[in-house]
Amino acid sequence: MTILVVSGTGTGVGKTVVTAAIAALAMAAGRRVAVVKPVQTGAAATEPADLAEVDRLAAPTTLLELARYPDPLAPAAAARLAGLPFVDLTRFADRIQLLTADHELVLVEGAGGLLVPFDASGGTLADLARALAAPVVLVADPALGTLNHTALTLEALSARGLECAGVVLGSWPADPDLACRANLADLEALLGRPLAGALAWGIGRLGRPDFADAARAGLAPSFGGRFDAADFRRTHDPRPRGPQPDQAEQD
């Protein structure tokens, strides 16, 4: 049994697609998979939301949404504005733990970033991950600004004693700019190990079999894929510009 919490360096970085990709490869390996969305915001009660997308792409064994608020805000703010009860992270942790009895993998997709307020007392996804003793898969944007966002999130994980299960780029563009390409080595330096994946932009539009193939290409072996971080970096890293340290000394 494994519980993985999927968080992001911010909103809109590809958490749902990464969650679906991990689920798809686990399902292909014959594992029973549960995907939990503790809090869904920005969706009406009957509106398809993140779990509907995960179901379309990966068809996991079990899907469970624990709370929903209509406004596209942080969960605590959305609950307050809607006049609805705040989430109960302790109760949520208990319900998620129950799923481990008959699932080999339980994926918990957060809302927004790691420290977005979930409840009235300021509880966060990080607190839920601690209650579950679960590693966190961090989904990052490859673009300009990601180094600061990723470094801050990794620091927050470390300060709370949480394990990072890997950094995955949630949407790698078809034509990456200089910032995206240059960020690869720096992201790995922040993490202290290779990236755990880079999913191609737009794969969420694929049908299920093609999505599974794209997930396999974009996720590391630790998640059941064949992504080779070193090869990916060699392919995309920009050439060095300006004198390198040893060249400067020679000059």
Name the active-site residue from 4, 10, 37, 220. Answer: 37
- Beginning with the edge strand found earlier in the chain, give each strand of the sheet holding 2-8 in spatial order: 62-65, 33-37, 105-113, 2-8, 136-140, 164-172, 197-200
15 carries an active-site annotation: no
CB 7 within 8 A of CB 156: no
Cα–Cα distance between 145 and 154 in angstroms, integer?
15
Which active-site residues does the annotation give? 37
